[in-house]
Amino acid sequence: NAGVTQTPKFQVLKTGQSMTLQCAQDMNHEYMSWYRQDPGMGLRLIHYSVGAGITDQGEVPNGYNVSRSTTEDFPLRLLSAAPSQTSVYFCASRSVTSLVQYFGPGTRLTVT
């Protein structure tokens, strides 16, 4: 199993550009989440999904969209990038029978 994979590893955007961060898992997990990690702030939940077709907002959802058309994939879209979205983004997944989350390797995003 590859576990949770994320692409790209690094990305630089200009203010106003849009892009999609990809996340995939091959463990058939129902729950998937997106977090951003900023120094001194820990990990903050952006959006999460409890299954295909179902998503909900987390603590810091503004400026981000998600969709969950399949169990495996949970892409995060930045609609119009802002410097405040410079961060490291982690995707995570877990099964409904186990509360342990598995994290991807992260995407380091810089918005100039």
In whole angstroms, what is the distance from residue 42 CA to residue 6 CA? 19
Choose which of 17, 22, 58, 67 interacts with other proteins (CB under 8 A): 58
Choose which of 1, 2, 97, 99 interacts with other proteins (CB under 8 A): 99
# of chain residues touching other proteins (CB under 8 A) = 23
Rounded least distance, CB 105 to other proteins, Å: 5
On the CB side of 107, how many CA atoms lie within 13 Å of its CA? 27
Q: Among 95, 51, 97, which residue's Cα sits nearest to residue 74? A: 51
Q: Which parts of this chain interact with other proteins (CB under 8 A)?
A: 31, 33, 35, 40-45, 48, 50, 56, 58, 90, 92, 96, 99-101, 103-106
